[in-house]
Each structure stands twice: as structure tokens, then as C-alpha cells.
Structure 1
Amino acid sequence: MNFYGIEIDYDLYKHFLEFLTDGEIDALFKAITTPPPRYYVRVNTSRISANELVRRLNARGVPAYRDEHIEEAIWLPVQGPFRVPTARKIVVVDKKAAESVMVGADVYAPGVIKTERVEVGDEVNVVADNGVVVAFGVAVANSDEVLKTRRGLFIKVEKSLYKAPKIRDLPEYAEGLIYSQSLPAIAVGHVAKRLGVEKAVDLNAAPGGKCTHLAQLGMRVFAVDRSWSKISRLREELKRLGLEAQVDVLLHDSRYLDRDFPRLRAGLALVDPPCTDIGVRPKIYHRVTYKAAKTLAQYQLQFLKTALKIADYVIYSTCTLTYVENEEVVLKSRAQTLHLDLPIGAPGWGCETCRRFLPHIHNTPGFFLALLSKG
């Protein structure tokens, strides 16, 4: 079944129908194909206050606003949709690149799938690999060189479907004052702050959004991930944010932390495991089956059970929307769910103390959040 380019099989459709009407499913998937109207960043409060950062951005003509509920969160408006001008030449990019370009990012060589012969100064349309035109731009490099080296900037985007702030271009980014992060993800740190713990373990730490949030709040964090490339990126973020001293980084499969580090204990563990990513937006297209969700749920439960062995509290979160990967995983863990005291989002499906963020209702990415204890 196809909803605006989001393909799910019939079994997954029936799974959603247990909790949503057909119209709600349609609205949810339509929302996923567009960016949220607010682009959120987390303020690195170890270096600057949210008020001071907003004042600094506004003084330079960058519109920025404090979030109504979370102290470390500020947002910048996303504009669009716009009409994309037509060009004579096209450059085809992969899904990940297209989803960035549609909100105003430039085209870099690694994301290019194929291109017509393009010279510096040529006008082009940037097209996703499913044929959706996402932007109009001008080449700043020759296509022959780009395809040969696979490095550097290729197309400077001048008009995209939407326009989001280019956070990485801001001096505040280079100074380590901000971290690009969705509001629901920032809420994880907001919940953690209220627990009053001193030490935390992040079982799925890269690229570092949640563990750096805990670190800036003064917690000592043991950050674990099994991918060397992800660990390298995490270290870069820690250095940029000036939080290296607060975080110990380990390359390891965190499902086995309790076995391999039997003395490891913490007041809090974060579990944000691989999932079907249905809540991430904007999406050019996406394909998910019920079987894939069930398989991932088994994997997610392994992380969660380990976390419950080493920490007093566990925050479980995902960027997906299936019941089987969220409330059902929490239920199977046999942990006690605690009240989040979170003023945003909505109660979980059959779990009043859990929290869900639904794109078509809350204008955020899709997200799930639960606070657990051993009981």
C-alpha cells in the first residue's frame, strides 16, 4: 500500500488500523513527506544560555525563538513549499541526499547517483532517484571531476521545495553552541534531568545527540556504539561541543554490556535502538513491512533488557511509530513504566505513562518515549 510514497505492506496497515482510523493513517503519512514547520536545535547550556543565544541570532537577522516548554530547545522557522524552477539538465541523487536537499541543503559529490554532463555555472534540477524534483541549483564544479573524485561541493542550491536554516553555516555551530536535534529527542534529556542522577550509560550513543545533552547537564556519560565510523563521528561532536571530559566512549555491542562489564552500574541508561524510522521527516519515499518491524522489535528488546540490568532508570525511545517496536517492546521487558511529567506529546497506545509524538497532530517528527524502572 502506498501513501504519498510511503509503502507499507497490508499486515503493517492492519497493525496501524488497530490504533488509527484510515483517515488518520493517511494524514500521518502525508505529514511524514514534509518537514516540520519548526526546525529545532538544542542549546549547549554548558557554554551559553538559551536567552543569550536567541538574542545573538536575532541581532544578526536570524529568526529564532525559545520553545514554550523545554529550556534547552530553540527553534527556527521552516518556509515552503515553493515552486522549483525548471532547468535543462538534471542531477540524480540518492534518497538521503534528496531529503536534505529538499529543505535547502547543497549537493555534495558522495550523494550523486548519476548526472548529465555539467559544467561550472550550469543550471540544474536536483532529482531524487524516484523522480521527484527537489531543488534548482547552479553547478560549482564540473561533473567529470565530481564523478572521478567523489569529493566536494557539486551543486549550490538556490531554490528548494522547502527552506530550513543551514545550521552548519552558522558561527554558533562552529563554536559548539548548538546541536541540531528534534524536539522529541531533546525531551529525552529534559526527562533525564529531572531524575537527578550523576552517571548514565547510553547504549546507542552515536551520533551523540542524547549523550551530549546529558553531558552538558553535568552527568558523567558512558557512551557505547558498535560502529567505528559512528564512534568517530561521536568523538568529533564531543570535541566541537567541548564535552569530551564528561563522556567516556566505548566501541562495543552494548547488548552484552552486563556480561562483558559485570561491575558497570549507572543511575540511568538510554536506549534508542535501530528501528524502522517511520517517524523521521521529511521523507522522499520509504518502504516498511510488518515482518521488518517485528524483527527489529526483537533486537530492540535485547538492548532494553540489558539496560534494565545495569541502571536504576531507563529511557527507551525510538523515531518510529509502530506499536510492535514501542509499547509492545516496553510490555515485553516487564519493567515498570513511570510518569514522564512531559507537557508535550500524547499518551502511548495502551500505555498512559508512555509518550507519543504524531507528525500530523504535533507537527514534530514521529517519536516514542518511555521511562522505565526495574519495578
Structure 2
Amino acid sequence: MEMNRRKNQRVGVAPSVPSAASKTRRPAQRRPHAASAEKTGGAIDAGLSSKVLDQAAIALRRLLAFERPADAVLSDHFREQRSLGRRERGFIAETCYAVLRHRRQLERLVQPEVTPRRLLLACLLRYSGFGLRQLAGLLLPGEQDWLLALRSAAETDCADCSLAERLDLPDWLTERLSARHTEAELVELARGLNRSAPLDLRVNLLKTTRDEVLRQLAATGIKASACPYSPWGIRLEGKPALQQHPLFLQGHIEVQDEGSQLLGALLAPRRGEMVVDFCAGAGGKTLLLGAMMRSTGRLYAFDVSSKRLAKLKPRVARSGLSNVHPVCIDNENDVRVKRLAGKIDRVLVDAPCSGLGTLRRNPDLKWRQTAQDVAELVRKQQDILAAAARLVKPGGRLVYATCSILDEENAGVVDHFLAGHAAFQRLDAAAILAQQGILIDCGMDMRLLPHVHGTDGFYAAVLERGK
């Protein structure tokens, strides 16, 4: 059940920041925003002034308390500072997120005086393409000499650092990931997770085609290309604001990571079927499933949050779907769930999870999550999967998915379920995708990783109930 998650974002709504989810909700696709602040090999195409640097330091101080999701903290900050322009907000958001991505390395570099301002300056110099000459006019007395020394120290890199420090990950998370990955693989995985994510769109095939959307985007000066795997996916260059674009307003596109789109292909709903999106949230995958069903049959969107489901309604209206039925439930054992037992053709369980596969968009999660949080989530995931399975009719399909990269939230939950539910068997996820023309090396259970597939980290297992 998506207990406390925001799974889909509005498009291009200020503040332009990634969605950093709470500990039990799926982080969402990043909103379009101003030019990305984290680049390599060049300065940032964004204005930087003493005012903006000061505002970034204030925002970062709030973020480093790790009391709330980062997007909520920045949203509040930007509401308080309405004089900031769109590019300034984008710069502050991206630079603060860059600090969160590289927090361990930056804190090591600026010790013993670890302040938000110093973290920002070190980040701009080391990770964001700024040179000392560009920063000179913003520096306080003594800061230029400090940055010169820091630059020299940075050149020695991190020879005496632990693996976790080199990866810019918490110790506990590095230990968990080391059980599956070699050190070389971990380095590549961490590098992928510590990059800023691209912006992916999903085309609503009820209304248009991918080629037509690409043509219209190009006509309005937006550079884009087809995603490599999803037949509905488009990847944008940069982060243009789309909230007033006709394609968005007319329901032709939605923001959705390519990996998330592939969950629809794994469930593969058909015309006229009864389908349940068990953890629907604001309905990004619900809309995809409804379009795959060609707006026929009956598609239930379950969630425990009426606020999240309220966000689904205008999206359904834009999409042109007529088969979506949002249902707010109390929990996974709600009577409105139980009455559908054994009647549903296909059930998607996009479970609440740590969200650690979305660190490209939500770098604060690696500092806010703990091993204890994950253990609590695993128990919840087991309960939700068992409850959702009761809905599946004989011969029906059940897909369990997370945006986590931890085995205990993924295969561990599925193995636990199968040990107690002999009526279900695993299907080959890669083969199911290949049958639809989606050729991707993802394994028996689908495992997607940013450095391998260019998506967020995703896991999905396809289960079938025996006839």
C-alpha cells in the first residue's frame, strides 16, 4: 500500500526540485525545472549572486536537519522567498541537491568547519563546474585561500577513505549492497545514483503517437528522443517547463520514469479485464494501465490517502480514460478490498519502499533512511503482497514492484510470499517484455539500475496464480 508516498509529480510547478519522498512512499519523477546545476566540464548556465548563495545556504541548513522530505523543505523556502526567479530557484535546488549527493566527500573536504556555506562553495568548485575566478566576487575574506587549499587537497582524492565514503553512501547501505555487488560494481552503481536524473515522459497512446509527440516537442524547441526500452517513453534533453505546454494540458503526455513505465508492460493488462492498482497514489501507473486497456474493462485505483487520489481525478480527466475507479481504503484488509477476492485478472503492487533506487532524484533519502526503517518496510511489504494476492483469480497475474535496490525489499519479500503461497509461481520478466518487443537484459525478476539501464533503480517480480 502506498501509505505515505507521492508517486507522481505535477509538471513544471515551482519549486523546481526533485521529490524527496517520506520513508514510506515512492519518490516521484523529477519535475521539469531550470537549467541543471550539476554539470561536468563547464560552468553552470545559471546566475549566481551573493543573494542566491546566501539563500542556498539558508535552504541547505534546513535540508541538513533531515526532518522532512527535501522537496517539502525547498517548497516552503521558495514560498517564503517569492522574489527569487525561476532560474534562481532552479540553481538553489540543484546545488543543494548536489551537496546532498556528495555530502560525505564534501564534509571531509571542509572539515573542521562544516557549514552550509562552505559545503556549497566546495560543491560548486569540485562538482558543479565553477572555477575560482567565477566565484571570486562572492567570497568573504579568507575564503579564496581556503578554496585554493581545498582544490589542492581534492586533487589527492580519497586514498584513505572507506569504501562507503568513496561511494558517498551511508555505511549501513554500503554493507547491504556489498552482499550483491562487487566493489567495482558498487563504484559504478554509486556513480549512477549520484548523478542527476533525466526527465522522462510517457505518451498517452489513447490520444496520440510517440512520433507525433516528438514532432510537436521539436516544433516548440524542446529536444527529445525515444527512450531505449519503453515503447511509450520519451527522454528530454534538459528540464523544460511543461505545465503550460499543449501536449500536457491536452493529456498527451505524463511525466514518468522509463523504468516505471515497464511495470505496465510486465502486468500487460488487456481490453475488458478487471485490474487493480493496489498502491495507486496519484495514479501515474494507473493512467498507463488504463491506456493499455484502451479505456475498457474496470481499473480500480486503491490507496489509503484521499489527498493522493484527489490528484488522480484531474489527470484521469486529461487522459480521456473512462475505466478508472479510485477507491480510498483504510488499509490492505479493507472490506472494499476483500469483496474483490478471487475476481481480479491482474494486480499491480507498487509497494511502499525505501526509495533507494531513486537517489538520482531524491539524494536526501540515503541520509534519512536507516536499516531499522527498511526492516519495518519489509514487514509492511509482506503484509501488502499477501493481501493483494487474495484478489487474483485462478490464472491471473500479480506483479510486485519497488523502486528499491535492496534485496530484502525485493526478492526477499517475493521469496517469503512464495514459501507460503504454493498456488503462485514466478514468470520470466525478461521473456514477458521480449514478447512485447522490449529487449532488455533485466533478469528473471526485473532489476533495473541507473548505470546499466539509464533508469531509476527498480525491481519487479511477475507471479501467476495456478488455474
Both structures adopt the same fold (TM-score exceeding 0.5): yes
Q: Are the equivalent residues in 2 in contact too, given 1:44–1:241 (CA < 8 A)?
A: yes
The equivalent of 2:351 in structure 1 is: 273
Distance 1:238 1:176 in 2: 9
Q: Does 1:368 align with 2:455?
A: no
Distance 1:266 1:6 in 2: 44
Aligned match of 1:215 in 290, 296, 318? 290
The equivalent of 1:178 in structure 2 is: 253
List aligned pairs for 1:2-41, cutoff 5 A. Answer: 3=165, 7-10=169-172, 12-36=173-197, 38-41=198-201
Q: Are the equivalent residues in 1 in contact too, given 2:405–2:457 (CA < 8 A)?
A: yes
Cα distance change of structure 1 residues 319 and 59 upon mapping to structure 2, 3 Å threshold: same
Distance 1:307 1:61 in 2: 44
What code does the residue aligned with 2:383 have? Q
SS in 1 for 2:205: coil
**Which deviations, in whole Å up to 9, do the C-alpha atoms of 1:30-84 show, x marking residues without a partner?**
3222223x42111011111112111222222222222344321122124xxxxxx
Q: Does 1:355 align with 2:442?
A: no
1:238 Cα deviation after fit? 1.3
1:232 Cα deviation after fit? 1.0
Name whichever of 167-176 and 44-53 sits farther off: 167-176
SS in 2 for 1:279: helix
Q: Are the equivalent residues in 2 in contact too, given 1:345–1:356 (CA < 8 A)?
A: no
Cα distance change of structure 1 residues 266 and 258 upon mapping to structure 2, 3 Å threshold: farther
The equivalent of 1:84 in structure 2 is: none
Q: Does 1:293 align with 2:453?
A: no
Cα distance change of structure 1 residues 61 and 204 upon mapping to structure 2, 3 Å threshold: same
Cα distance change of structure 1 residues 246 and 14 upon mapping to structure 2, 3 Å threshold: same
Distance 2:460 2:351 in 1: 12
Identity of paired residues, percent? 26
Asked which structure has the greater CA Rg, the reply is 2
Q: Does 1:248 align with 2:325?
A: yes
Q: Does 1:198 align with 2:297?
A: no
Cα distance change of structure 1 residues 374 and 197 upon mapping to structure 2, 3 Å threshold: farther
1:213 Cα deviation after fit? 0.5
Distance 1:278 1:324 in 2: 12
1:26 Cα deviation after fit? 3.2
Distance 2:363 2:427 in 1: 36
Distance 2:189 2:307 in 1: 33
The equivalent of 1:303 in structure 2 is: 384
SS in 2 for 1:317: strand
List aligned pairs for 1:109-120, cutoff 5 A. Answer: none
Q: Are the equivalent residues in 2 in contact too, given 1:3–1:29 (CA < 8 A)?
A: no
Distance 1:266 1:49 in 2: 30
The equivalent of 1:238 in structure 2 is: 316
CA RMSD of aligned residues (A): 2.3
SS in 1 for 2:207: coil
Q: Does 1:282 align with 2:361?
A: yes
Distance 2:308 2:242 in 1: 21
Structure (1/2) with the larger strand percentage: 1
**Which deviations, in whole Å up to 9, do the C-alpha atoms of 1:212-261 show, x marking residues without a partner?**
11111225210010012111112222122222x21111110451157853
What code does the residue aligned with 1:371 have? V
Aligned match of 1:313 in 397, 417, 421? 397
List aligned pairs for 1:122-133, cutoff 5 A. Answer: none
Distance 1:258 1:301 in 2: 19
Q: Are the equivalent residues in 2 in contact too, given 1:258–1:309 (CA < 8 A)?
A: no
Cα distance change of structure 1 residues 260 and 216 upon mapping to structure 2, 3 Å threshold: closer
**Which deviations, in whole Å up to 9, do the C-alpha atoms of 1:162-185 show, x marking residues without a partner?**
xx2323242211111101001111
Aligned match of 2:304 in 216, 223, 226? 226
Distance 1:259 1:210 in 2: 21
The equivalent of 2:79 in structure 1 is: none
1:272 Cα deviation after fit? 0.8
Could you list the runs of 5+ residues in structure 2 that have no partner in the other structure? 1-161, 419-423
Q: Are the equivalent residues in 2 in contact too, given 1:5–1:284 (CA < 8 A)?
A: no
Q: Does 1:42 align with 2:197?
A: no
Distance 2:254 2:266 in 1: 18
**Which deviations, in whole Å up to 9, do the C-alpha atoms of 1:112-133 show, x marking residues without a partner?**
xxxxxxxxxxxxxxxxxxxxxx
SS in 2 for 1:324: helix
1:5 Cα deviation after fit? 8.7
1:316 Cα deviation after fit? 1.1
SS in 2 for 1:248: strand
Distance 2:216 2:317 in 1: 23
The equivalent of 1:168 in structure 2 is: 243
Distance 1:309 1:202 in 2: 14
List aligned pairs for 1:52-71, cutoff 5 A. Answer: 52-71=212-231
Cα distance change of structure 1 residues 196 and 241 upon mapping to structure 2, 3 Å threshold: closer
Could you list the runs of 5+ residues in structure 1 that have no partner in the other structure? 79-163
Structure (1/2) with the larger helix percentage: 2
TM-score scaled to structure 2, two decimals? 0.56
Q: Are the equivalent residues in 1 in contact too, given 2:269–2:289 (CA < 8 A)?
A: no
Cα distance change of structure 1 residues 262 and 177 upon mapping to structure 2, 3 Å threshold: same
TM-score scaled to structure 1, two decimals? 0.69
Q: Are the equivalent residues in 2 in contact too, given 1:199–1:221 (CA < 8 A)?
A: yes
Cα distance change of structure 1 residues 332 and 345 upon mapping to structure 2, 3 Å threshold: farther
SS in 1 for 2:400: strand
SS in 1 for 2:460: strand
Cα distance change of structure 1 residues 259 and 35 upon mapping to structure 2, 3 Å threshold: same
The equivalent of 1:336 in structure 2 is: 425
1:291 Cα deviation after fit? 2.4
